[in-house]
């Protein structure tokens, strides 16, 4: 189970692909999330993505993460019966997440105005790639586009000069979009509980990606000055950079303030470095000082990564271990923080998945496995709308449910 913070909050999610993250975040906090999926197969995220579990034709890891803890209701919103069921569910819900291309639900007469007439307290969140207005609002896109759009994933060039996609890095826009949507939804829930007034809130994943580079955007439009006189940004920094350790790994050293630089030099018994490279200015990176960089690299090569972390802790020096995802899970701090949880999947067996960075005092996190398409259809119609088996069978025969 997720946490209990949003217990008794019901969310209807009509989403494909990455906007599933908003419902995931709400479900992690304890909301009941009913994922509305179109028959016959539902959200094709189950088979889409670069990583699968259970073999090349297995289940998408994105589905296992983004749709954990949800219920799946197979519902055809293009049929009169399907729309009626949806509106009946809206009347008994708190939130609708519209994770389709902007305007898709409006074209089915299931937009905010219609839903608000059924439930004036409803919180309607539109989470789409490019938003409800603007010249690109109807542009078809996928997740990597939002990072490319804002400059987070510039092209790399092959030997023949052709531009290529970068081969590494998760998509910031799709996760950031879900986070901002969650913030908006929670704020709107508070207002609905306080005033009885619903809200239409909107987040575009491209806008969310832009928020993560807002400093660079602001710098450009305000002609801001780079404090690093040597130029080159952090790559040219010396007292704020990566260094290889004696075991072939890396450490991030961040002793840019004078007090931390003094702690480091004193701790390793090298007071001569303070005389040669005093670093008295605040936030002094010693940018471009290759003599000092060479000294530090020789020093960091004398101990292992773990030994340097222990030294940093003992001497009050900022920095820490640098990991790849495969080594992160073995990190002692990562392990003790309890960020992974184990879940039993009916098809894949035992899985270890990343949970949530949020911690709730007195509660543990272990969300249920992501659902198969339509596996909760009968239960939702019985439990939420009070339908009997005969009515459910009739709706299935009509093609309204799956």
Could you report the per-residue pLDDT of 309-322, keeping only the tens digit for each? 999 999 999 999 99
- What the chain holds in terms of domains, given with CATH numbers, is 10-213+358-398 (3.40.50.10540), 233-322 (3.30.1540.10)
Q: What angle do CA 190, 1, 173 make, to 5 degrees?
A: 60
Mean local confidence (pLDDT), 38-62: 88
Q: pLDDT tens, 321-364?
A: 999 888 899 999 999 999 999 999 998 999 999 999 999 999 99
- 64-80 residue pLDDT tens: 999 999 999 999 999 99
- Nearest residue to 12 (alpha-carbon basis) of 92, 84, 76: 92
Q: Count Cβ atoms within 10 A of the Cβ of residue 288 and give its class: 0-12 exposed, 13-18 middle, 19 or more buried.
A: middle
Phi, psi (degrees; rounded to nearest 5) at 300: -65, -20
Q: What is the pLDDT of residue 67?
A: 96
Name residue, tokens 């020093």.
299
- Distance between CA atoms of residues 136 and 210, nearest Å: 15
53 forms beta bridges with 59
> Global pTM?
0.90
Structure tokens of 163?
């531009």
Residues shown for the chain: 402
């Amino acid at each position: 189970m997720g946490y209990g913070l949003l217990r008794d909050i019901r969310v209807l999610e009509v989403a494909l692909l990455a906007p599933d993250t908003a419902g995931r975040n709400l479900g992690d906090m304890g909301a009941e999330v009913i994922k509305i999926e179109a028959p016959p197969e539902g959200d094709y995220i189950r088979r889409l993505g670069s990583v699968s579990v259970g073999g090349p034709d297995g289940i998408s890891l994105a589905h296992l993460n983004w749709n954990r803890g949800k219920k799946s209701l197979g519902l055809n919103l293009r049929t009169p019966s399907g729309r009626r069921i949806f509106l009946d569910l809206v009347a008994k819900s708190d939130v609708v997440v519209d994770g389709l291309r902007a305007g898709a639900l409006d074209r089915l007469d299931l937009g905010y105005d219609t839903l608000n007439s059924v439930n004036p307290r409803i919180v309607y969140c539109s989470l789409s790639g490019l938003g409800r207005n603007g010249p690109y609002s109807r542009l078809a896109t996928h997740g990597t586009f939002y990072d490319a759009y804002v400059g987070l994933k510039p092209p790399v060039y092959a030997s023949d000069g052709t531009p290529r996609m970068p081969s590494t890095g998760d998509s910031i826009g799709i996760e950031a979009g879900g986070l901002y949507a969650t913030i908006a939804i929670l704020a709107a829930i508070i207002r609905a509980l306080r005033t009885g007034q619903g809200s239409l809130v909107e987040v575009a994943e491209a806008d969310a990606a832009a928020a993560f580079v807002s400093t660079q955007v602001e710098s450009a439009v305000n002609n801001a000055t780079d404090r690093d006189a040597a130029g080159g940004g952090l790559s040219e920094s010396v007292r704020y950079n990566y260094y290889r350790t004696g075991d072939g790994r890396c450490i991030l050293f961040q002793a840019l303030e004078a007090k931390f630089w003094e702690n480091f030099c004193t701790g390793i018994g090298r007071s001569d470095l303070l005389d040669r490279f005093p670093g008295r200015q605040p936030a002094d990176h010693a940018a471009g000082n290759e003599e000092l960089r060479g000294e530090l690299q020789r020093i960091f090569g004398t101990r292992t990564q773990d030994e340097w972390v222990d030294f940093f802790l003992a001497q009050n020096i900022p920095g820490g271990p640098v990991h790849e995802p495969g080594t992160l899970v073995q990190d002692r701090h990562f392990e003790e923080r309890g960020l992974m949880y184990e879940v039993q999947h009916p098809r894949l067996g035992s899985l270890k998945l990343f949970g949530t960075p949020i911690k709730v005092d007195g509660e543990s996190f272990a969300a249920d496995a992501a659902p198969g398409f339509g596996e909760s259809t009968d239960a939702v119609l019985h439990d939420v709308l009070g339908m009997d088996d005969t009515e459910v069978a009739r709706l299935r025969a009509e093609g309204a449910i799956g």
